[in-house]
């Protein structure tokens, strides 16, 4: 693959030979194959969500819904439990992300810009936390949630979601603050600002793009979380969309209502895909920020 990949730019000078044309065709076939492999499963979810209930069980399988039907979406949009789950997920994800950004941006500014002893210990502990396995603390969190009467509440999810949103936010924003030029603080100092004013009035507005990207990534993580949501909730009061989709079942046993499941799945996924595609450049930069330096 490396050969085909790097042969490409060199074909310009001379006219392409037969071998080069063949290798180019093979290369594009490979690209098309990768694209189909990557996108087809989601295409399939969308197609399934637009089929009539009976058409799902046709053999051979229909590769395009005929006719296009909205009955699955009708079901999902009139399903009170699912709509409540959508609301729960939105509240939990938004609040936990805002909390993580509010608390985390303070720490990130300190770790990225301010000199103080013990900084590296805090920084590397935070990095270690971003890879912390949630299952390792699940028993204690479960006990804490029950002891504080927070079982089956949104509050329980908001707080426990900080275990992964906060360290991530701190780590990414710290790297972001480090890239801002030092002259800004010096200028602000000349103007007689206190260090906190410097942070609040000068650096924070400049960090807005970093805050948006970090917030978006943390939002995706919170929106998609499953283990805590499954363990700390019991019914519609606090159930999130992921748990609702995982537990979707028909009222009459045998085959699952795949059309409804896929309609719900598409609904909770399309906003994420749209956001990710809009912010793709920044997301790739944000995700690889800590990872490629070695």
Partner 1 sequence: MSVQQETTSTAVQPARRTAAPRSEWAKARERLGWILITPTIVVIMVVAFYPLIRVLYLSLTNARLGSINAPRFLGFANYAITFRDPTFLTALNHTIVFTVLTVALETVFGLGIALIIHSNFRGRGAVRAAMLIPWAIPTVVSSRMWAFMFNDVFGVINDLLFTRLHLLSHKVAWIANPATALPAVIAVDVWKTTPFMALLLLAGLQVIPGDIYEAATVDGASKLQQFWTMTLPLLRPALMVALIFRTMDAFRVFDMPFVIKGTAPETITLGIYARQQLVDFQKLGQGSAISVIIFLFIVVFVVIYTWLLRSEEA
Site for partner 1 in 33-62 (CB under 8 A): 34-35, 37-39, 41-42, 44-45, 48, 56-61
Binding-site size for partner 1 (CB under 8 A) equals: 105
Which residue's CB is nearer to partner 1, number 15 or number 41? 41
The reply on whether position 249 binds partner 1 by CB under 8 A is no
Of positions 91, 94, 106, 184, contacts partner 1 by CB under 8 A: 106
CB of 170 to partner 1, least distance (A): 6
The reply on whether position 91 binds partner 1 by CB under 8 A is no
Of positions 93, 160, 175, 213, contacts partner 1 by CB under 8 A: 160
By CB under 8 A, the residues from 177 to 206 that bind partner 1 are 186, 189-190, 192-196, 199
Of positions 103, 180, 184, 202, contacts partner 1 by CB under 8 A: 103
By CB under 8 A, the residues from 263 to 282 that bind partner 1 are 265, 268-269, 272-273, 275-277, 280
Of positions 170, 172, 218, 263, contacts partner 1 by CB under 8 A: 170
By CB under 8 A, the residues from 123 to 142 that bind partner 1 are 125-126, 129, 131-142
Of positions 167, 210, 215, 286, contacts partner 1 by CB under 8 A: 167
The reply on whether position 19 binds partner 1 by CB under 8 A is no
Q: Are 154 and 88 in contact (CB under 8 A)?
A: yes
Exposure letters 85-105 (e unless 16+ CB within 10 A, then b): bbebbeebbebbbebbbeebb
The reply on whether position 245 binds partner 1 by CB under 8 A is yes
Which residue's CB is nearer to partner 1, number 7 or number 94? 7
Which residue's CB is nearer to partner 1, number 84 or number 119? 119
By CB under 8 A, the residues from 206 to 225 that bind partner 1 are 220, 223-224
The reply on whether position 154 binds partner 1 by CB under 8 A is no
Q: Which residues contact 271 (CB under 8 A, 6 or more apart)?
A: none
Which residue's CB is nearer to partner 1, number 154 or number 262? 262
């Amino acid at each position: 693959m490396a050969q085909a990949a790097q042969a490409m730019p060199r074909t310009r000078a001379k006219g392409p030979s037969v071998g080069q044309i063949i290798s180019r065709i093979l290369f594009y076939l490979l690209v098309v194959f990768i694209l189909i492999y990557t996108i087809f499963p989601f295409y399939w979810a969308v197609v399934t969500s637009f089929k009539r209930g009976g058409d799902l069980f046709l053999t051979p399988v229909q590769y395009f819904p005929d006719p296009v039907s909205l009955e699955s979406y009708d079901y999902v949009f009139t399903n009170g439990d699912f709509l409540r789950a959508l609301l729960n997920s939105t509240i939990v994800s938004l609040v936990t992300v805002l909390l993580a950004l509010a608390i985390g941006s303070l720490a990130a500014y300190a770790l990225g810009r301010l000199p103080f002893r013990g900084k590296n210990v805090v920084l590397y502990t935070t990095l270690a936390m971003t890879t912390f396995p949630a299952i390792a603390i699940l028993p204690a969190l479960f006990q804490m949630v029950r002891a504080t009467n927070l079982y089956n509440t949104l509050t329980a999810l908001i707080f426990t979601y900080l275990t992964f949103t906060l360290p991530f936010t701190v780590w990414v924003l710290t790297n972001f603050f480090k890239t801002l030029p030092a002259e800004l603080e010096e200028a602000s100092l000349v103007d007689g600002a206190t260090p906190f004013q410097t942070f609040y009035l000068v650096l924070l507005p400049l960090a807005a793009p970093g805050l948006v990207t970090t917030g978006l990534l943390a939002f995706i993580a919170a929106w998609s979380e499953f283990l805590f949501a499954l363990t700390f909730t019991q019914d519609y009061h606090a159930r999130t969309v992921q748990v609702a989709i995982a537990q979707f079942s028909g009222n009459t046993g045998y085959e699952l209502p795949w059309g409804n499941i896929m309609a719900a799945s598409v609904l909770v996924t399309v906003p994420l895909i749209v956001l990710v595609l809009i912010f793709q450049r920044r997301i790739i930069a944000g995700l690889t920020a800590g990872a490629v330096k070695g």
